[in-house]
Chains A and B, each alone.
Chain A
Amino acid sequence: MQLTVGPNVFFWTPERWSALYDTLADSPVDRVVLGELVCSKRLPFYQAQIPGAISTLLAAGKQVALTSLALVTLKRERKMTAELAELGATVEINDLTALTYLPDGMEFFVGPLINVYNEGTLAWLASRGATRVCLPPELPLASVKTLAAAARDLGVAVEVWGHGRLPLAISGRCYHARLHGRSKDNCQFACEQDPDGLEVHTMDGQPFLAMNGVQTLSESYACSAYQVETLSRIGIDAVRLSPQATGFSDLCRVYRQLFDGTLDAAAAVDEIRRINPSAHLSDGFLTGDRGADWSGRLVPS
């Protein structure tokens, strides 16, 4: 089992952004996807640092890919997406728009925000050049299993969302801007104040969601520690960890130890709780009745 680090979905300072990739160069991960997924307005703040981060990661032996935006609408965003293929790294598409700009036959990755729900779509993407697919986090284990088997025949590697706040929705509207009484065009980068997103509670005060600009995340951190063994058995190639502001390299190490068998699932969860004591965990999309559920134990499958 391999470890893929997904793109940082939050708006971090350029210093914090670069520090993440310096740290990842020394972390036990196999693959890093970077670039801007959520909001095109954020990119200019750290764009100049992307080539350096790619070089650092490649020099450390990591495989590197560049993500597309999750929702491409504006002319500027179309241009930015078209230019991705020219940067030399593998492109991970997270809006099918990105696929339209890739030269015929160029290999690419498919990110978790592309709707790969069935074998037909998987086969179609493989015929276009997809070599790796991170499945949508919403999929239950039964679908993951079927798709993993289909992917094996197609020669496509399959990843599953492994850890981090779940990307639940994307919108044309910016919720951070709305919260501050601003429009998206005049957002003044309100999302910068929340390096892990801004927690949203129900009317009972129950933590529920987290807003991240135009994106809505779960408040809970998805955690696949109890499913890793099953995922490995059914042929899943990698799990994906989503960067968080605290203890991320420790988190990578815990998952690596879990894969290596030096930690069992329960011990890994204990470690994860130590890294982020206030975080709620969930694994309901894979094995529960609903996404927010947490098994708290190994689920027989």
Chain B
Amino acid sequence: MVMEIVCPAGTPASLRAAVKAGAHTVYCGYADETNARNFPGLNFDRAEMRDGIAFAHANGAKVLVAINTYPRAGAEAIWHRAVADAETAGTDAVILADPGLLDHAAKHHPGLRRHLSVQAAAANADIINFYAQAFGVKRVVLPRVLSVPEIATINAETEVETEVFVFGGLCVMAEGRCSLSSYATGLSPNMNGVCSPASHVEYHEDSGALNARLGGYTIHQVGQGEPAPYPTLCKGCFSTGDKTGHLFADPVSLNAEHLIPQLAKAGVTALKIEGRQRSRAYVAEVVRNFRAAVDALEAGQPMPEGMLARLSEGQATTAGAYKKTWR
């Protein structure tokens, strides 16, 4: 079976562009703290979600609704309502991370298909099978800490479908288990659906150098005229002892296009593209290229070469943890 391309949509226009460009599946979220890309101007209201799902279905594509932050104590009703509304809107599945919310969905929306978000960081077959048994999870989005052989091992030991990230932003930390952002800014992926938020970024010029700060911490310094990267915490520049540099992760993005045949052989069901914050033109181009690649693979044709390099952040890409040396 051809590998499924799962594509981000931050707006209804992106959703339509992705579907037209050949996405098998689109994922999106409501415009509130229930999803892990809770950025200003992004995401869907209730009517937009209903219309977007209807459009996708009319064109043979599926829609997944990400409700993948951790519900706030005392306010779980907001997350429960999101799950109920997604079901009413006709979503093909919800993407959840919180065990309490999974339990709620399994009990109150048994007919609604449940996927496990990458934010749950389920990194081995035992816990994946446990989520399947406890909450009826049908698919897991694997954390970006696994190598291709480890993914193959997981698939050999579970019936749950696996979905892996192949393109876009790359977390170096286990997702859903990182509070670097709330330590520095008070806002976190788990609680607020944001990481290294733009509201806490400032650029400051000092004797010929441009400093990028997040929450007052200077984590990038470039000379005048050089491009200043966005100060994402784990990709910042730091020093310890006599060493200065990207001590945690280089400011690169993920591109695993060359690994598509290996991922197929490892038993992966779906390839996920990161970037609900991206423009519809970007989304459409990435989708077209990945769709061409999986179609070529299915037809036994060679993979298209180097198709996406110019779309990557800062032009530098990595195969990330899929190659074991990354660790």
A residues bordering B, Cβ < 8 Å?
Answer: 70-75, 77-78, 95-97, 99-101, 113, 115, 117-125, 136-139, 142-143, 146-147, 150, 166, 168-175, 177-179, 183-185, 198-206, 208-209, 211, 216, 218, 284-285, 288-292
Contacts and interface: CB of A to CB of B under 8 A. Distances in A.
Contacts of A172: 123, 143, 145-146, 174, 321, 326-327
Given A120-B101, A166-B183, A202-B217, 11 more contacts: A70-B177, A78-B124, A99-B130, A119-B100, A121-B103, A138-B179, A172-B327, A173-B145, A173-B321, A184-B327, A204-B211
Q: Which range holds the interface residue count of chain B?
A: 35 or more
Given A97-B126, A209-B238, A143 B74 contact: yes
DSSP majority for the A interface?
Answer: mixed
B191 interface: yes
Interface in B51-71: 70-71
B188 interface: yes
Given A96-B99, A118-B70, A175 B248 contact: yes
Contacts of A139: 73
Given A179-B240, A200-B238, A208-B217, A291 B183 contact: yes
A218 B186 CA distance: 14
B153 to A, nearest CB: 8
Contacts of B312: none
A185 B324 contact: yes
Given A72-B123, A201-B240, A117 B190 contact: yes
B184 A71 contact: no
A138 B103 contact: no
Contacts of A71: 121, 123, 145, 174, 177
A290 B177 contact: no
Nearest to A180: B243
Contact of A203 (B73, B234, B238, B243): B238
Given A179-B240, A198-B240, A170 B98 contact: no
A249 B218 CA distance: 36
Contact of A119 (B76, B124, B236, B240): B76
A203 B124 contact: no
Most chain B CB within a 10 A radius of its CB, from A70, A72, A100, A203 = A203
Interface of B: 70-74, 76, 97-101, 103-104, 121-124, 126-127, 129-130, 143, 145-146, 150, 153, 172-174, 176-180, 182-186, 188, 190-191, 211, 215, 217-221, 234, 236-241, 243-244, 247-249, 321, 324-327
DSSP majority for the B interface?
Answer: mixed
A292 B183 contact: yes
B184 A173 contact: no
A115 B211 CA distance: 34
A72 B99 CA distance: 18
Contact of B145 (A73, A121, A136, A291): A73
Q: 7 tightest A-B contacts by CB?
A: A120-B100, A172-B145, A121-B100, A291-B183, A290-B186, A184-B327, A117-B70
A200 B240 contact: yes
Given A168-B180, A179-B247, A206 B126 contact: no
8 contacts: A71-B121, A72-B126, A118-B71, A121-B100, A121-B101, A169-B178, A172-B326, A292-B183
A291 B177 contact: no
Given A121-B99, A211-B240, A146 B74 contact: yes
A121 B218 contact: no
B70 A170 contact: no
Contact of A168 (B176, B179, B185, B247): B179
B170 to A, nearest CB: 11
Contacts of B239: 200-203, 205
A75 B188 CA distance: 31
Most chain B CB within a 10 A radius of its CB, from A72, A75, A183, A208 = A208
A200 B247 contact: yes
A198 B321 CA distance: 24
Given A120-B101, A172-B321, A216-B248, A96 B174 contact: no
A126 to B, nearest CB: 11
Contact of A171 (B76, B98, B100, B145): B145
